[in-house]
């Protein structure tokens, strides 16, 4: 009988921490790429007022997920995060890797019925867990890269689109309005 491995939760150091007040994570994804961006801690947007418009330059960090297999954004916030089964010891405003993840195990089990299933395909996948102020984001991916940018929110949306659809930059233009 196979014994179940204990889940291990490890905090990842993040050089570009998000705003405590309102990081406003934005996720864009397709079948192959996932991009998340958020307001950084030293952002001029303090979460208390909307006096900052989305066309002003600001400190925004991009997270690119390499070979993202699955992701979810949930409305679990900092006030209730300790009730989440993976965050019983807290951990707000941090990024974690969940080792021996039951979510990865569940996805593997579903895929194991495929005629070409190979367990080696899963060896590099990691379960990433982001705890923001008003939400949390989980992702199964091989690797993440975080880079800072000094751009407006509108420009960040356009950049996210260009990372997902790199050859259609001129075909897709989205205007974000504060009204």
Mean pLDDT value across residues 107-133: 94
- What pLDDT does 85 receive? 65
Task: Say whether pLDDT at 172 is over 60.
Answer: no
Mean pLDDT value across residues 65-88: 82
- What pLDDT does 133 receive? 85
Look at the pTM and tell me if it is higher than 0.85: no
Domain ranges of the chain: 8-164
- What pLDDT does 4 receive? 72
Mean pLDDT value across residues 22-45: 85
Structure tokens at 84: 């989440």
Mean pLDDT value across residues 152-177: 75
What percent of the chain has a predicted confidence (pLDDT) above 70? Answer: 80
- What pLDDT does 55 receive? 57
Most confident segment among 40-44, 47-51, 52-56? 40-44
Q: How high is the mean pLDDT of the chain?
A: 83
- What pLDDT does 80 receive? 77
């Amino acid at each position: 009988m196979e014994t179940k491995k204990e889940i291990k939760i490890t905090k990842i150091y993040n050089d570009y921490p998000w705003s405590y007040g309102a990081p406003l994570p934005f996720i864009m994804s397709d079948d192959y790429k996932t991009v998340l961006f958020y307001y950084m801690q030293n952002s001029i947007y303090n979460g208390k007022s909307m006096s900052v418009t989305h066309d002003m330059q600001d400190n925004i960090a991009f997270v690119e997920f390499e070979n993202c297999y699955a992701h979810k954004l949930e409305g679990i916030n900092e006030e209730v995060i300790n009730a989440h089964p993976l965050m019983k010891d807290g951990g707000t405003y941090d990024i974690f890797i969940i080792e021996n993840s039951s979510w990865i195990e569940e996805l593997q089990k579903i895929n194991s019925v495929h005629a070409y299933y190979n367990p080696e395909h899963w060896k590099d996948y990691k379960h990433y867990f982001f705890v923001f102020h008003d939400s949390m984001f989980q992702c199964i991916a091989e690797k993440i890269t975080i880079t800072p940018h000094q751009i407006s929110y509108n420009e960040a949306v356009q950049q996210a689109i260009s990372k997902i659809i790199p050859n259609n930059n001129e075909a897709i233009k989205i205007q974000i309005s504060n009204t």
